[in-house]
């Protein structure tokens, strides 16, 4: 969890830096900051710089009232007015949250405005102080809020007097160390930092997803290519072994040529079997069916003496284990006994040895 929190904090700082850089580069021109501080029912207008003159003005009916309107317009023209209002204009409420809520503080506070104040999030101008430690894994922030309708006339008066943008802050109240910014009015066409931040977050998430998909695709393709390479290597090795065995005549390896030659000698030839049977069987024997199944011979036919055929076949060196595989029968129309004999055919190489 600590590592994930560190990564999240680093990415948040990076987004803040890039957002600030983009906002600074895309800004049309640098604006002067002018402080407008509420004091005893009036407003002290202070320009930028130590030696800048200060003017005391009034805001009434949405307009700026000052002894020297021209000087006020010169100070405010094209500037950013930082309006700081007295705590009496705001409602302050403490809000205790888990420490993990720091990253989502804006959304959490916005969701709690209805409960903490009499206004909704759209009706209120609100902000919060920096988080303070409130125990193990707990923090507390001070929420300052007021109705937008109460500060809008002040903003309109500053804009009418020449200010380009206005930010509104609540002056420090009891328990707060710094002003709390509650509202910011930007000119049309101004760059929204929050929008730039959202675009950066979306771009970062999209880049991460694209990188994840690319890595997954690369892993799948790499795994498949590795499997194909292993299969190709195995086939190449087998082919090389077969070629070496074929070139080595003295090697006792079952090459395709040797296997074919061995099968030639071990398998009985149908022509030889027919020739041997024609020599063994007597003249009164007629063969009606002959089948060779591997190394087995099956003969079906008619003869005068069926048992004598078993003895004649056994005496031949080409056959062994001659037996009847079906009963011997005699039909009235047959000239003799109908026999069914099977025998084992001896291989050619066995006969030579």
Instruction: Provide φ and ψ at 326, rounded to 5°.
Output: -155, 155
User: Considering the domain boundaries, does residue 228 fall inside one?
Assistant: no
- Would you say residue 269 has pLDDT above 90? no
Q: How far apart are CA 223 and CA 41, in angstroms?
A: 76
**How many Cα atoms occupy the beta-carbon half-sphere of 260 within 13 Å?**
3
Tell me which of 25-29, 38-42, 219-223 is least confident. 25-29
pLDDT band at 249 (very low <50, low <70, confident <90, very high): low
When pLDDT is averaged across residues 262-268 and rounded to a whole number, the result is: 59
Name, of 69-78, 86-95, 182-191, 339-348, the range with top average pLDDT.
86-95
User: Considering the domain boundaries, does residue 19 fall inside one?
Assistant: no
Using the 3D structure, point to which of 167, 188, 209 is the last residue of a domain. 188
Residues 82, 179, single domain; the answer is yes
165-176 pLDDT, tens digit each:
899 999 886 655
Percent of the chain surpassing pLDDT 90: 20
pLDDT band at 178 (very low <50, low <70, confident <90, very high): confident
96-143 pLDDT, tens digit each:
999 888 888 888 899 999 998 999 999 999 999 989 888 888 999 999
User: Considering the domain boundaries, does residue 46 fall inside one?
Assistant: yes
Q: Can you say whether residue 106 is alpha, beta or left, with left for phi > 0 and alpha for psi between -120 and 50 degrees? A: alpha
How many domains is the chain built from? Answer: 2
When pLDDT is averaged across residues 313-336 and rounded to a whole number, the result is: 84
Residues 43, 184, single domain; the answer is yes
Residues 179, 298, single domain; the answer is no
pLDDT for 101 equals 84
Helix axes 306-315, 270-280, angle to 10 degrees: 120
Residues 167, 39, single domain; the answer is yes
pLDDT band at 28 (very low <50, low <70, confident <90, very high): very low
Are 82 and 33 within 8 A, CB to CB? yes
Q: In what order do the strands lie in the sheet with 42-46?
A: 63-65, 54-60, 42-46, 33-39, 80-85, 165-170, 180-185
Are 75 and 66 within 8 A, CB to CB? no
Residues 278, 138, single domain; the answer is no
Residues 324, 179, single domain; the answer is no
Q: Find the CATH number of the domain harbouring 341.
A: 3.30.1360.100
Using the 3D structure, point to which of 154, 188, 222 is the last residue of a domain. 188
Residues 34, 124, single domain; the answer is yes
Q: Find the CATH number of the domain harbouring 98.
A: 3.30.1490.300
Using the 3D structure, point to which of 154, 169, 188 is the last residue of a domain. 188
When pLDDT is averaged across residues 316-326 and rounded to a whole number, the result is: 86
pLDDT band at 251 (very low <50, low <70, confident <90, very high): very low
Residues 151, 281, single domain; the answer is no
When pLDDT is averaged across residues 288-317 and rounded to a whole number, the result is: 86
* DSSP states along 188-228: TT---HHHHHHHHHHHHHHHHHHHHHHHHHHHHHHHHHHHH
Residues 150, 33, single domain; the answer is yes
pLDDT for 193 equals 61
pLDDT for 194 equals 64
Mean pLDDT taken over the chain: 81
User: Considering the domain boundaries, does residue 127 fall inside one?
Assistant: yes
Tell me which of 201-205, 245-249, 348-352 is least confident. 348-352
pLDDT for 253 equals 47
pLDDT for 90 equals 93
User: Considering the domain boundaries, does residue 161 fall inside one?
Assistant: yes
pLDDT for 266 equals 58
pLDDT band at 345 (very low <50, low <70, confident <90, very high): confident
- Return the DSSP state at 6: H
User: Considering the domain boundaries, does residue 271 fall inside one?
Assistant: yes
Q: Domain of residue 91: give its range.
A: 28-188
- Return the DSSP state at 59: E
Residues 66, 173, single domain; the answer is yes
Residues 173, 296, single domain; the answer is no
Residues 143, 42, single domain; the answer is yes
User: Considering the domain boundaries, does residue 73 fall inside one?
Assistant: yes
**How many Cα atoms occupy the beta-carbon half-sphere of 228 within 13 Å?**
6
User: Considering the domain boundaries, does residue 209 fall inside one?
Assistant: no
When pLDDT is averaged across residues 4-23 and rounded to a whole number, the result is: 69
């Amino acid at each position: 969890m600590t590592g994930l929190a560190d990564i999240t904090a680093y990415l948040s700082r990076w987004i803040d830096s890039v957002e600030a850089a983009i906002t600074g580069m895309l800004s049309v021109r640098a604006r002067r900051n002018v402080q407008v501080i509420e004091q005893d029912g009036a407003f002290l207008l202070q320009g930028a710089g130590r030696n800048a003159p200060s003017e005391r003005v009034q805001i009434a009916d949405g307009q700026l009232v000052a002894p020297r309107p021209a000087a006020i317009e010169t100070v405010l023209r094209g500037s950013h007015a930082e309006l700081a209002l007295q705590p009496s204009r705001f409602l302050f409420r403490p809000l205790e949250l888990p420490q993990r809520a720091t990253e989502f503080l804006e959304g959490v506070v916005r969701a709690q405005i209805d409960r903490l104040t009499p206004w909704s999030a759209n009706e209120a101008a609100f902000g919060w102080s920096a988080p303070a430690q409130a125990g193990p894994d707990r923090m507390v922030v001070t929420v300052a809020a007021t109705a937008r309708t109460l500060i809008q006339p002040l903003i309109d008066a500053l804009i009418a007097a020449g200010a380009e943008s206005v930010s509104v802050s609540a002056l420090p109240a009891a328990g707060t160390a710094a002003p709390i910014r509650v509202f910011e009015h930007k000119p049309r066409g101004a760059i929204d930092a929050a929008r730039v931040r959202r675009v950066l977050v979306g771009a970062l998430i999209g880049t991460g997803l694209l990188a994840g998909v690319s890595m997954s695709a690369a892993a799948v393709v790499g795994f498949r290519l590795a499997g194909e390479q292993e299969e190709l290597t195995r086939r190449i090795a087998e082919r090389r072994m077969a070629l070496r065995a074929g070139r080595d005549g003295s090697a006792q390896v079952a090459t395709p040529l040797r296997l074919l030659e061995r099968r030639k000698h071990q398998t009985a030839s149908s022509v030889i079997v027919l020739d041997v049977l024609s020599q063994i069987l007597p003249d009164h024997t007629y063969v009606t069916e002959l089948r060779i199944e591997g190394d087995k011979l099956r003969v079906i036919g008619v003869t005068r003496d069926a048992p004598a055929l078993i003895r004649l076949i056994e005496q031949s060196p080409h056959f062994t284990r001659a037996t009847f595989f079906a009963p011997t029968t005699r039909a009235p129309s047959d000239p003799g006994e109908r026999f069914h004999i099977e025998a084992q055919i001896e291989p050619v190489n066995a006969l030579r040895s």
